[in-house]
Structure 1
């Protein structure tokens, strides 16, 4: 029994009503609340689509290698994987943008983004595991079918070769056999390469998401460091203002003392002059 997709139907992430919430942030930096809402809606829809493709691939996996297996089924699997891979790539970009937008958001909005990220990771891991199983089964069944076809053709060629008496005719048969084998090998390699190309590089996407979370944490640490630096500068400035005030008070006292001394000296000089004049 394969594990079912993480989301059976379209889930609701936060507020899903048609009214765009009024979001405001302090600090002078403005952004569109509509962008926050639309990104969340797009990511929610994409997660639902990934899980729908997961179910389609699971049904196709049960048919591969059976009598229901045909080229139409293989083409359908290929188209489904290409479409889903594009959705995964777009969802990854939307999540990166959403994490930038929500940096100045409140706690509820950040929790909503965290839930979307976790749901996307879960859906992506389920899709990737099933995609690998489909690719392995398609390659095994493809090789078995083409080996059987090639063997039947070789047997016909051998009978035809035994019936031919002329050397030129035998060489033509061998040449046709080589051409057929080369064509079959080329077709097999092309199909196997196509199957391998359809497999999504989940590790790369997971590294991008981890880097995105690390960058967000680094931004928070940088903000905290800036706050501590500003706090230290404010305390240092207050200390300097206090020292300047003390210095100014001392300077004023010195001026008062000098002025008093000058006044006393002036009075003494006046008294001396008056005394001399009276004589």
Structure 2
């Protein structure tokens, strides 16, 4: 009975837990990757005729969902990495899922950066247009002083009402896009934190030398690598020595030729 337990947890339960976590992580990575693909297509449609506020809202929803899914998956991977296991297959599965997740997370962050970049460009354009037409002053946009006189005398014209409504819509879109930028920048920092946490976990576990067998293999590789470096250094010194000898011989020949020419004259 004792041989089937370790730390109060049976090997069977531990194996089931590993399988459950690895399957959930694999499913999440697939979902994140699919969402990143959808996001990438939607980001490429920004600043094109397909762009609209509804389009941006859908992009924001996918981005928010993917951000939460990435954070949950990170927690699951850390839990998986903490599980003790002596099975080579489990170690390979754990490393494969970790690497796939980090690759997918990197693609997700790249898409976030591109979305933030395009949104910032939109905000700059809107602000530039606002500065040029003095947004907030419907008379300045019309460029017609007679319209201002009409406004003072009575009801605003239809054109002026449309300009005021357009100004209000521009202000609302500007606020929404600035809010999107702040959210995207916060999410990008969150993804950076995930990378940092995973890196710390990998470093603290020292998976390269986490067993006697791997330590021996690691030492063997280092010895072989050191021997190879010494061999390469010796070859380099020999080549350098030969090069010096050749240069010295060449110098002697040149000097000899010069002396022959001088004495001959």
Tell me which residue corresponds to 2:196: 207
> Secondary structure of the residue that 1:129 maps to in structure 2?
helix
Tell me which residue corresponds to 1:193: 179
CA deviations on 1:16-55 (whole Å, 9 max, x unpaired) are xxxxxxxx96644415232211111111111111111111
Distance apart, 1:63 and its partner CA: 1.2
Q: Give the gaps of 5 or more residues in structure 2.
A: 213-265
Tell me which residue corresponds to 2:143: 158
What is the alpha-carbon distance in structure 2 between the residues aligned to residue 168 and residue 106 of structure 1? 84
Distance 1:210 1:162, change over 3 A: same
Tell me which residue corresponds to 1:229: none
Q: Which has the higher helix share?
A: 2
What is the alpha-carbon distance in structure 2 between the residues aligned to residue 191 and residue 180 of structure 1? 16
What is the alpha-carbon distance in structure 1 between the residues aligned to residue 164 and residue 52 of structure 2? 26
What is the alpha-carbon distance in structure 1 between the residues aligned to residue 105 and residue 120 of structure 2? 22
C-alpha contact 1:85 1:200 (8 A) present in aligned 2: no
Higher Rg: 1
> Secondary structure of the residue that 1:104 maps to in structure 2?
coil
> Secondary structure of the residue that 2:49 maps to in structure 1?
coil
What is the alpha-carbon distance in structure 2 between the residues aligned to residue 196 and residue 37 of structure 1? 38
> Secondary structure of the residue that 1:65 maps to in structure 2?
coil
CA deviations on 1:176-197 (whole Å, 9 max, x unpaired) are 9999878855652442222331
> Secondary structure of the residue that 1:68 maps to in structure 2?
coil
CA deviations on 1:124-172 (whole Å, 9 max, x unpaired) are 101111211122112313443575578395654432x4444489669x9
Distance apart, 1:57 and its partner CA: 1.4
- Aligned pair partner of 2:60 in 78, 83, 86: 78
Number of paired residues? 194
Normalised TM-score (structure 2)? 0.61
Distance 1:183 1:57, change over 3 A: closer
Q: Which has the higher contact order (CA 8 A, sep 6+)?
A: 1
Distance 1:71 1:181, change over 3 A: closer
* 1:130 is aligned to 2:116: no
Tell me which residue corresponds to 1:51: 33
Q: Identify which range, 32-41 or 180-189, moves more after superposition.
A: 180-189
C-alpha contact 1:99 1:113 (8 A) present in aligned 2: yes
What is the alpha-carbon distance in structure 2 between the residues aligned to residue 178 and residue 71 of structure 1? 19
C-alpha contact 2:139 2:148 (8 A) present in aligned 1: no
Normalised TM-score (structure 1)? 0.58
What is the alpha-carbon distance in structure 1 between the residues aligned to residue 90 and residue 4 of structure 2? 12
Report the aligned-residue RMSD: 3.7
What is the alpha-carbon distance in structure 1 between the residues aligned to residue 95 and residue 4 of structure 2? 19
